[in-house]
Structure 1
Amino acid sequence: MKNDPHVSEGVRLQKVLSQAGIASRRAAEDMILAGRVSVDGVVVRKLGTRIDPEKQTLHVDGERVLTDSVKRTVLAFNKPVGVVSTMSDPEGRPCLSDYLSEYPERLYHVGRLDIDTSGLLLLTNDGELANRLTHPSYQVAKTYVARVHGEVKPGIRRKALRGVDLEDGHIQVDAFSVKDTYGEITTVEITVHEGRNRLVRRLMDELGFPVRELVRIQFGPVRLDRLQPGVLRRVKGDALSSLYNEVDL
């Protein structure tokens, strides 16, 4: 079978590891012999093993290895306010495709941000990754910074962490902290693992603090950092591997 890690076709496993920057070929051989390498979930100890890096999954010490031959694209985008999280818009509003002229591959947006929310949005050509990142069973955490009117006292944090009942069900907050208060405006940081529509805004409404401004700063292991509004960057290296590991790919 072509997907059998012990077939004679394909590329030698130690060469794949070396080309992926994991280790030299000699060190990769030692890793294989030590049982640290698995292909499609099966530990491989045979040095002559050949694999198809475009179709088979490779892990070292339980961490996913992404090879250059697998042409996956994952982009981090700082979505500005006023841009809709779709590839086209019948009303002619700015949308995601307006920013993707340099990327000819078909890209999926991973979830959405409402038109009034800015910040981190992921896009990828890997449909399975997109599906898993948004599927409730994987509980991928998303972190937001919200600016609200008034002073958010400690009791509000305790209430949020206990959970709040919304019209479409209970919402459990993973983390809630007050970052600062300046005049009439308080900045809070909120982490949730759900992706329901306008969830953070509805949560803060229920707590009595309607959101004035909302920014998503993190999706799983990927952070917005200093990415400017309207700008894209490739997710790669450890961040990309961590993203795949987050959803068991």
Structure 2
Amino acid sequence: MTTTEEPRGDRIAKWLSRAGIASRRDVEQMLAEGTVRLNGKVVTHPATFVSAGDVVQVAGKVVEPPDRTRMWRYHKPPGLVTTHKDPEGRPTVFEKLRQQLPRVISVGRLDLNSEGLLLLTNDGALARQLELPSTGWLRRYRVRVFGTPNEGALKSLARGITIEGVRYGPIEADVDAQKGDNTWLTVSLREGRNREVRRVMAHLGLAVSRLIRVAYGPFQLGMLERGGIEEIPPRVLREQLPAAAAPPPAPRRR
């Protein structure tokens, strides 16, 4: 006689990440701090599994089970930071969208003065995956700089560049238009390090006065107005992210 074992479910870090609480790394920090409970008991070990019907709490609040993976395009305006809490008290993207969205995590970041396409998802594991250079997704920006770029210096960025000991990967930079002392560039890269475009331009003697992300992988800013938010249809997610867009598996029965 054979029996079917009850599945163990997901590890708690993955479960909370899928629920949009935080990245797996941040969840592991929460576990170390003792702020996560499973069925009323404090959980400290990441190799703890969550099954259907379990109750998970973070900082005393019950966490709803992970929904299907969802993703939104957001046209971030300048003046917002891409973080859940800012120690300097500056307004954040997530405070701005609190009434419009469930708990979400950004795919990468845009700094305070940058604007344009910011992808938001309720799947923390997916967010982390899409941020990795190994994913190979191209980030494309429209960049306004003060000054006249040296065409040779721009072309040399395609080989990568080292600035103050930090190695940046290949960058494609092309001049679109010049008007007076200002030049518009299209800049494309695959790494997306913190403030990478601004630092590279500054190294070339160019001050960035406006930076707009217009594409992240297959997703485009398009005509989405500043401050606008729009969910990416499930059909499009299935086409672009077939594994991630699959619905959570239903619990098996004996």
Fold match by TM threshold 0.5: yes
Taking structure 1 as reference, are residues 73 and 159 closer, same or farther at Cα in structure 2, changes over 3 Å only? same
In the other structure, the counterpart of 1:29 is: none
Asked if 1 retains the 8 angstrom alpha-carbon contact of 2:82 and 2:94, the reply is no
The corresponding residue for 1:204 is 201
Q: Deviations over 1:179-229 (max 9, x none)?
A: 111111100011111121100000111122121111111111111111122
8 Å contact kept, 2:138–2:217: yes
- What is the letter of the counterpart of residue 232 of structure 2? V
Native 8 Å contact 1:221 1:239 kept in 2: no
Does the residue aligned with 2:119 lie in a helix, a strand or coil?
strand
Find out whether 1:158 has 2:155 as its counterpart.
Answer: yes
Deviations 1:94-124 (CA, angstroms, capped at 9, x unpaired): 1122332344532111111110111111110
Find the aligned partners of 2:5 and 2:207 in 1 and give their Cα distance: 56
Letter in 1 for 2:177: D
Distance in 1, matches of 2:193 and 2:73, equals 20
Task: Tell me, in whole angstroms, the C-alpha distance in 2 between the residues paired with 1:140 and 1:2.
Answer: 39
Q: What's the secondary structure of 1:212's corresponding residue?
A: strand
Residue in 2 that maps onto 1:169: 166
Aligned to 2:132: 135
Q: 1:181-192, aligned counterparts within 5 Å?
A: 181-192=178-189
Matches within 5 A, 1:69-108: 71-103=68-100, 105-108=102-105
Change (3 A) 1:245 1:140: farther
The equivalent of 1:120 in structure 2 is: 117
Shift in Å, 1:129: 1.1
Structure 1 residue 147 corresponds to structure 2 residue 144: yes
Structure 2 residue matching 1:241: 3-state secondary structure: helix
RMSD of equivalent CA atoms: 2.7
Quote the residue 1:25 is aligned against: none
Equivalent residues of 2:107, 2:119 under 8 A apart: yes
The answer to whether the Cα contact below 8 Å between 2:159 and 2:171 also exists between their aligned partners in 1 is no
Identity %: 34
Aligned counterpart for 1:109 among listed residues 106, 110, 120: 106
The answer on 1:229 being equivalent to 2:218 is no
Q: What's the TM-score, normalizing by structure 1?
A: 0.66
Do the aligned residues in 1 keep the contact of 2:69 with 2:245 (CA within 8 Å)? no
Separation of aligned partners in 1, 2:196 and 2:165 = 10
1:46-72 deviations in whole A, cap 9, x for unaligned?
xxxxxxxxxxxxxxxxxxxxxxxx632
Contact 1:133 1:247 in 2 (8 A): no
Shift of 1:238: 5.5
The amino acid that maps onto 1:144 is Y
